[in-house]
Amino acid sequence: MSSPAQSPARATEITGQAERRRTFAVISHPDAGKSTLTEALALHAKVIGTAGATNGKSNRKDTVSDWQQMEKDRGISISSAALQFSYRDTVINLLDTPGHADFSEDTYRVLAAVDCAVMLVDAGKGLETQTMKLFEVCRQRNLPIITVINKWDRPGLDPLELMDEITERTGLTPMPLTWAIGIAGDFRGVWDIRRNEFAKFARNSSGAQIALTEYMTPEAAAESEGDAWDDSIEEASLVVDTDAPLDLEAFYAGKATPLLFSSAALNFGVKQILDTLVDFAPPASPRPDVSGETRPVEAPFSGFVFKVQAGMNQAHRDHVAFIRVCSGMFERGMVVTQTRTGKSFATKYAQQVFGRDREVIDTAFPGDVVGLVNASTLRVGDTLFVEEPVEYPAIPLFAPEHFQVARSKDPSKYKQFRRGIEQLEHEGVIQVLRSDLRGDQAPVLAAVGPMQFEVVEDRMHHDFNAPMRLERLPYTLARLTTPDAAATLSTVHGAEVLERSDGEFLALFNDIWAMRRVEKNYPELPLTEIGTKRE
């Protein structure tokens, strides 16, 4: 794709800045320690003074990436968060993802905006269901994966058993860059294989501060740790290639995964993770558009919206559209064009986000995440550009599996109710289905997982002062159809057709048997499986 020429100096600056960016997401099964690792990485980069996790969730401080009240109450992430900080000479863009499977749509959107993923594995549980589902999304997106075995300070599986499981279930070849010294539950430190040195850890302030670390030669480590060192090194020798610990080509091709050991809660092994990201994670690079062509990073500005979030500033009730910069230099105040509508607007209110905290940002480069405040026309998946038009692939909606009718508890607050539902739909918190028969006062909420309804209820009450009640519908699956199918399916027990906000018509069925009866009796009706299933 040809792009308008930039000055050589500007193009060189943009290319150099893109090379400095590392944009990645942390993925795992719930409770594997994603938000704790996010805090630990920020702590080691010296952008926060104290980590949020202390001695477990019963004594947990608020993490910088978990800012919604439900996240604080439950100790889980229910919304993705963007953090940017510098480490060494590199700009880290870390996108924390929701931990619960019910919020898979939000995680999927984040994975569309990153260049790499850190797969966090609980040392005691191995590869769990949600980890594998998210791994498959990464595979589909050709994202290189760095694997971190977390919680080595607790009793867990044998490291060689974990290596075998990763190989058998993912097809990736583990390439250990660090190896735990001491069995799971007796974490002494890590052998840094690239540097051939022992990093000996000591707990500091229950994990709220950077762990005390002493670096030793292998000979000194053997004298200090005795059998624990000897046994661990002997075990490592079965899988570690000390001459070539990392095959970058295999890593980028999705055939191998660098592997490290850590305890994020105690801040053990975290510096080694950061160093691996800086040294080996891919920088921002040209991204393909809808036609499959790539737009060079030095081309004029372009980016796409991967998330819209309201309620981050309770005082102003604003909402933020999160933009992944794909090419060029973003400059606050620049006039950009929205591909979907063809309309232009000025980016006057542009901010950099660190959890819930924000500050004005004047420039950003490929790989960065920019928060555009109160850009009310933007939707998830929208492309923005200057000069030469471009459109990046849409971020598809998931196939919903749970359906409930929403009604306002207080008829006098119908305006707040309607505004709240529209805002949550805008953010992608919930899918909203409507029909003439049901009317606007009783929209059908469609969700990937039932916890999404709890988020909707909570935010309708606290953010919009519009308490609501929900009534469960018996439907369990949906198919894409056409408006013409509505008349036919209105006479069928256990089926209904509703329109989604993106203009698609969804046929809902009580179960697979109800759908098969319709397919048998009305073979001419179009019923298409929704492309993106729950991951």
Q: What is the pLDDT of residue 50?
A: 57
Give the residue with greater pLDDT, 189 vs 96.
189
Give the residue with greater pLDDT, 470 vs 28.
470
Q: In CATH terms, are 20-280 and 287-385 the same topology?
A: yes
Q: In whole angstroms, give the CA distance from residue 181 to residue 201.
A: 10
**Binding residue per annotation — 96?**
yes
Q: What is the pLDDT of residue 315?
A: 53
Going by pLDDT thresholds of 50, 70 and 90, the confidence category of residue 207 is low
Average pLDDT of the residues in 325-333: 96
Which residues does residue 494 pair with via DSSP β-bridges, in sequence order?
none
Q: What is the pLDDT of residue 317?
A: 58
Q: What is the pLDDT of residue 22?
A: 97
pLDDT above 60: residue 368: yes
Average pLDDT of the residues in 133-144: 88
- Alpha-carbon distances of 60 from 54, 76, 178, 262, 328, rounded to whole Å: 6, 11, 28, 19, 41
Q: In whole angstroms, give the CA distance from residue 203 to residue 209.
A: 9
Each residue's pLDDT tens digit, 427-460: 888 899 999 888 888 999 999 888 889 889 998 9
Q: What is the pLDDT of residue 535?
A: 40
Place of tokens 């969730």: 57
Closest CA to 177 of 116, 241, 228, 88: 241
Q: What is the pLDDT of residue 354?
A: 61
Task: State the architecture of 20-280 in CATH terms.
Answer: 3-Layer(aba) Sandwich (3.40)
Q: Let me know: does 83 contact 67? Beta carbons within 8 Å.
A: no
Q: What is the pLDDT of residue 106?
A: 79
Which token pair is 371? 């928060």
**Binding residue per annotation — 122?**
no
**Binding residue per annotation — 318?**
no
Q: What is the pLDDT of residue 103?
A: 59
- Alpha-carbon distances of 95 from 38, 61, 110, 115, 379, rounded to whole Å: 9, 20, 7, 11, 19
Q: Let me know: does 143 contact 111? Beta carbons within 8 Å.
A: yes
Q: What is the pLDDT of residue 164?
A: 96
Name the range with the highest mean pLDDT among 178-182, 313-317, 368-372: 178-182
Instruction: Please name the residues in contact with 104: beta carbons below 8 A apart, sequence gap of 6 or more.
Output: 98, 133, 398, 448, 449, 534, 535
Average model confidence (pLDDT) for the chain? 87
Which residues does residue 352 pair with via DSSP β-bridges, in sequence order?
359
- Alpha-carbon distances of 262 from 89, 117, 270, 428, 478, rounded to whole Å: 23, 16, 6, 34, 42
Per mean pLDDT, which range of 148-157, 266-275, 324-333, 353-362 is the poorest? 353-362
Domain range list for the chain: 20-280, 287-385, 402-529
Q: ∠ CA(450), CA(499), CA(534), 5° rounding?
A: 35
pTM of the model: 0.83
Q: In whole angstroms, give the CA distance from residue 102 to residue 8.
A: 47
Each residue's pLDDT tens digit, 44-79: 887 765 555 433 444 444 444 443 444 444 444 334
pLDDT above 90: residue 185: yes
Q: Let me know: does 163 contact 194? Beta carbons within 8 Å.
A: no
Q: In whole angstroms, give the CA distance from residue 256 to residue 174.
A: 6
pLDDT above 60: residue 98: yes
Q: What is the pLDDT of residue 186?
A: 95
Which token pair is 376? 């009310």
- Three-class secondary structure of residue 479 per DSSP: strand
Please report how many Cα atoms fall inside a 13 Å half-sphere around the Cα of residue 459, on the Cβ side.
26
Per mean pLDDT, which range of 4-8, 141-145, 359-363, 414-418 is the poorest? 4-8
Per-residue DSSP letter, 160: H
Each residue's pLDDT tens digit, 239-256: 998 888 899 999 999 999
pLDDT above 70: residue 20: yes
Per-residue DSSP letter, 161: H
What is the DSSP track for 354-392?
A: ETTEEEE-SEE-TT-EEEEET-TT--TT-EEESSS---P
**Binding residue per annotation — 279?**
no
**Binding residue per annotation — 98?**
yes
pLDDT above 90: residue 269: yes
Tell the CATH superfamily of the 402-529 domain: Peptide chain release factor 3, domain III (3.30.70.3280)
Tell the CATH superfamily of the 287-385 domain: P-loop containing nucleotide triphosphate hydrolases (3.40.50.300)
Average pLDDT of the residues in 201-214: 82
